[in-house]
């Protein structure tokens, strides 16, 4: 992960910081990062946490940053000198990446001198929000796929290169098997996968010549794209090439469909492959899939073994943003809350506890509590991850995060995983934390 500049922020973060500085406001501010309710999502999967921690640990303004801010004619020299020496010195409690969570629950709480905790707001919302949005979308796809292979094909359609890297990491975290993104494979250790494009087939005089050329070079990993001209004829040619490969001691891995009626075509192609003695050849499909397309195809019994999932997941097409917010909940020892209509917040430093059924191992309820509370027969979810501006331990590997996501996702009852109108998971506020809110309101 590559830390980003503190200049990647909204201007008002800097103007507020300048006003804090000028007014001598130095209290330690605790901000809570959480998402408000979304009717399209019954759960979320935490991601982007370690990218955020990298940013906090490396937080500093470069000389050229201070020079640019000086050119804006907004800030005093004393404030700019302060920024030049500023480092993040705070404490962070957060969910472990890959942990499922629900609306209104803190994903992260940041405590630091108010200027520091204020200045990091924009980056934290951006980094955690995108990664979590995509990990959630990916987990929905994995749930629907029911063990069938999923490959991230989204890179060419994501909103920028950075988003493409985040999508590859977040979809793998959520249970995808591979990505087409080679840089993500190199950087994150994600398996990479790819077949061929229609242009490759068109570049040869005959379709079968393209198939043979590819199979000759990649005899153990050949997946033939069969819909450039006539899909069923392409399937028949694939059978011919499969036998040629088999005669040389190898096996055609699969054929790919990328257009047309995937459900009907997959059935017809499966018959052609089976009748041609190629029952072991898999059918891959790509082109416009997300959890809804997957559900439609599989509900109708399409014999598709794996899917390339691209644009609609890479941009989270059905829910392209998260209402992620970062709100001040305590200043020094004084809990504070926002009472705006529809945007009321929970004051105080918090912990989230989760109860599981002793019989089934399924999640039963979550309790948002005060940081120092203890809830019987429940597991705390937020853990200290940074103190004095330094991470307390090295992050787990992406594979370990992926395993955590897989284990914990299984514990969510299916009613809360529904694609349409999911049930709302029981999340309540503890009696102690409720009393604190009422005290502040009074």
pLDDT digits (tens, 9 = 90+) for 157-189: 999 999 999 999 999 999 999 999 999 999 999
Cα separation, 140 vs 132, in Å, equals 12
Would you state the pLDDT for residue 2?
Answer: 56
Averaged pLDDT, 120-132 = 98
Would you state the pLDDT for residue 263?
Answer: 97
Question: Among residues 378, 373, 376, 349, which one has the least CA distance to residue 432?
Answer: 373
Least confident of 1-5, 377-381, 385-389, 415-419: 1-5
Averaged pLDDT, 239-251 = 96
Query: What phi and psi values does residue 187 have, to the nearest 5 degrees?
Result: -75, -40
> pLDDT at residue 1 above 60?
no
**How many CA atoms, within 13 angstroms, populate the side-chain half-sphere of residue 4?**
14
Which residues are bridge partners to 152 per DSSP? Answer: 179, 309
The whole model's pTM is what?
A: 0.95
Q: Which two tokens stand for residue 178?
A: 């591979």
Per the prediction, the chain carries an average pLDDT of: 96
Q: Which two tokens stand for residue 390?
A: 């330094």
Q: Which two tokens stand for residue 78?
A: 């004393």
pLDDT digits (tens, 9 = 90+) for 277-287: 999 999 999 98
Q: What is the DSSP string of 200-228?
A: HHHTSSSHHHHHHHHHHH-TTS-EEE--S
Would you state the pLDDT for residue 442?
Answer: 83
DSSP run (H or E) holding 366 = strand 363-370
């Amino acid at each position: 992960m590559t830390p980003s500049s503190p200049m990647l922020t909204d201007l008002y973060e800097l103007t507020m910081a300048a006003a804090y500085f000028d007014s001598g406001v130095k209290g330690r501010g605790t901000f809570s990062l959480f998402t408000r309710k979304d009717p399209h999502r019954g759960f979320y999967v935490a991601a982007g946490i370690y990218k955020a921690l990298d940013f906090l640990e490396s937080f500093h303004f470069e000389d050229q940053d201070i020079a640019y801010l000086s050119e804006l004619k907004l800030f005093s020299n004393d404030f700019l000198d302060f920024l030049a020496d500023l480092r993040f010195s705070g404490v962070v409690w957060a969910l472990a990446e890959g942990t499922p969570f629900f609306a209104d629950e803190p994903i992260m709480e940041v405590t630091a001198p108010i200027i520091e905790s204020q200045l990091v707001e924009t980056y934290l919302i951006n980094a955690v929000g995108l990664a979590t949005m995509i990990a959630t979308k990916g987990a929905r796809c994995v749930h629907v796929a029911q063990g069938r292979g999923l490959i991230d094909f989204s890179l060419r359609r994501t909103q920028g290169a950075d988003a493409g890297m985040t999508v590859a990491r977040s979809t793998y975290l959520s249970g995808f098997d591979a990505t087409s993104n080679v840089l993500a494979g190199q950087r994150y250790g994600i398996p990479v996968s790819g077949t061929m494009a229609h242009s490759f087939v068109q570049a040869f005089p005959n379709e079968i010549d393209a198939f043979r050329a590819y199979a000759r070079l990649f005899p153990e990993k050949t997946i033939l794209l069969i819909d450039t001209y006539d899909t069923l004829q392409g399937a028949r040619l694939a059978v011919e090439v499969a036998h040629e490969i088999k005669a040389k001691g190898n096996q055609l891995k699969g054929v790919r469909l990328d257009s047309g009626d995937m459900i009907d075509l997959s059935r017809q192609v499966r018959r052609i492959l089976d009748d041609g003695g190629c029952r072991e050849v898999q059918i891959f499909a790509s082109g416009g899939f997300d959890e809804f397309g997957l559900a439609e195809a599989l509900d109708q019994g399409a014999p598709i073994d794996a899917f390339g999932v691209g644009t609609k997941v890479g941009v989270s097409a059905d829910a392209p943003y998260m209402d992620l917010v970062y709100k001040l909940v305590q200043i020094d020892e004084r809990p504070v809350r926002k009472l705006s209509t529809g945007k009321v917040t929970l004051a105080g430093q918090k912990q989230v506890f989760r109860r599981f059924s002793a019989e089934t191992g399924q999640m039963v309820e979550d309790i948002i509590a005060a940081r120092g509370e203890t809830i019987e027969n429940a597991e705390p979810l937020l853990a200290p991850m940074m103190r004095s501006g330094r991470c307390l331990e090295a992050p787990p590997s992406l594979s370990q995060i992926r395993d955590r996501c897989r284990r914990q996702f299984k514990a969510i009852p299916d009613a809360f995983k529904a694609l349409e109108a999911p049930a709302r998971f029981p999340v309540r506020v503890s009696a102690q934390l409720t009393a604190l809110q009422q005290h502040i309101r009074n």
